[in-house]
Structure formats: C-alpha cells, structure tokens
Amino acid sequence: MRRDENWCRSDRTVRDIEVLSVDLSPDIERENAALVLLDEAESSRYESFQVEHAARQFLLCRAGLRKVIGVRLGQPATAFSFSKARYGKPYVCLDGTRAPLSFNVSHSGDFGLIALTASRPVGIDLELPRRTVDFESLGARVLAAEERAALSQLQGFAKASFFYKLWTSKEALTKARGTGLSYNPSSFQVPDEILRGGRTARFQFPDQPAQHWVLIDLGTETYGAALAFRSDD
C-alpha cells in the first residue's frame, strides 16, 4: 500500500470499539487522495478554511472516517452522508436512513483519533499539552473542586499533562453522551481511579445515575487522550 493511502490505520480495539489513528502531517499525495473522498459540502468546507493546518486536519480526518465507515458498511466511501443530532454530534445516513454505527473524531496538532462501533454511543478526545495556558483560570471554569485542588499541587509539564488528562476525559464523556460541552464540565468529577493514575474507570453522570459509562485514559507522554463509551453491563 502506498504511503498516501495509509494515513488512517487501526490502532487498537477496546471491546467492540475500533480506535484508529490518523497521520495529519503535511503530505501532498495523501491530501490529494483524501480530497476525492469528500462530498460537495465537505469540499466547500475544506476550501473555506483560512488556516492551512486546520484545513488539513479536517480533510484527512473526514476522508479517513469515510474510508473506515465505507468498509464497515460495505459501501464506497462516497455512498453515504452525515447528519447531526440535537447537540451537533454527527451520525451516518445511508439511503436516507440512520446507519447502525456510532463514531467520534478528535484531532490536535499532527495527530487524529477516530472511534467507531456498531453497538453503543462512543466519544473520544485528543489534546496536545500546551504549557502557556493559564491552567488555574481555565480550571476554575471547567474542573470540579477536587480536580482543581489536585491540579494546584503540580507545576510545569506535570501540571499541563494532568490538566489535559482531566479535560480529555470530560470531553470524551460528554461527547459519548451526545451533549458535548453544553453539559457543564465543572458539574462532574473524573473518576478517582483516573485521578490517581489508573487507566480505566466506570462513570455515572450525576443527573443520570442509572446509566453507566466506561472511561479509558489513552494518553501518552506526547498527548492527552481519552475514550468513553456506554456500558451494557
């Protein structure tokens, strides 16, 4: 397989969820290969970006998503469309009907992640840590009290890394739920297991205690990332 055809590849499987990584680094061959997979509206959106890097992120993530969904549906990558639910989370439509797939996409810098499953709501988030952010000020708006207290004990890169662990966890959970950040991220706390450095935890939103979710920390030394999905057990 030529390099330009392989910018989106399977990274891991979590239960029945496939997680794919997307290479968003500049490459004219892969960008040209990706462009032919977009529909008219997506091509127009791509052309409207004023920042080259943002345009490339959209192009390669959307084209990669179309490739993997096409494989799942047994259809060409251009055979379906995307619609949006109440809070803006996209879903797949095939022949005017919602397809039995759940997916989510996130990107930061030259990295992208896609989560795809046929069985349950899923959310994924990815962030490259930046030390120049005022974490105390931002944390006061988006973190719960115990999270802010833990953050205040850290400095430098450790502080940035911890903040993005929390932030990607909250983003993944609210994206899986389908509300995004219309649901106040400071109104709930990331599970204690994740705060203490664990990789997997169960979670319940305060206003939906009967519904259980699974949160997985996918972060590395390079970036913060998290996967969340509804639990059926």
CATH number for 179:
3.90.470.20
pLDDT means per 10 residues, the chain with 233 residues, are 64 95 95 95 96 96 96 95 91 93 96 95 94 89 96 92 96 96 94 95 96 96 95 83
Half-sphere exposure (Cβ direction) of 145: Cα atoms closer than 13 Å: 0
| Residue from 88, 104, 112 nearest 228 by CA | 104
pLDDT at 1: 30
Q: What are phi and psi of 20, to 5 degrees?
A: -115, 145
| Radius of gyration of the chain from its Cα atoms, rounded to whole angstroms | 18
Residues 43 and 150 in one domain: no
**Structural domain range at position 195:** 125-230
Residues 55 and 98 in one domain: yes
Residues 129 and 80 in one domain: no
Domain boundary among 97, 119, 141: 119
pLDDT tens digits, 172-201 = 999 999 999 899 999 999 999 999 999 999
In angstroms, the Cα distances linking 48 to 55, 58, 69, 99, 161 are: 8, 11, 25, 28, 33
Residues 94 and 27 in one domain: yes
Domain boundary among 119, 136, 171: 119
Residues 90 and 24 in one domain: yes
pLDDT at 4: 43
Chain center to CA of 31: 21
Half-sphere exposure (Cβ direction) of 205: Cα atoms closer than 13 Å: 22
Q: How far is residue 87's CA from residue 147's CA, in Å, rounded to a whole number?
A: 26
Residues 48 and 112 in one domain: yes
State how many domains the chain has. 2
Residues 8 and 114 in one domain: yes
Residues 32 and 86 in one domain: yes
Query: Across the strands, what pairs with 103?
Result: 116
Q: How far is residue 124's CA from residue 225's CA, in Å, rounded to a whole number?
A: 7
Residues 72 and 141 in one domain: no
pLDDT at 202: 97
Domain boundary among 91, 119, 147: 119
Residues 34 and 71 in one domain: yes
Residues 73 and 13 in one domain: yes
Calculate the CA dihedral of residues 21, 215, 177, 56 and round it to 10 degrees: -20
* pTM reported for the whole predicted model: 0.94
Residues 89 and 44 in one domain: yes
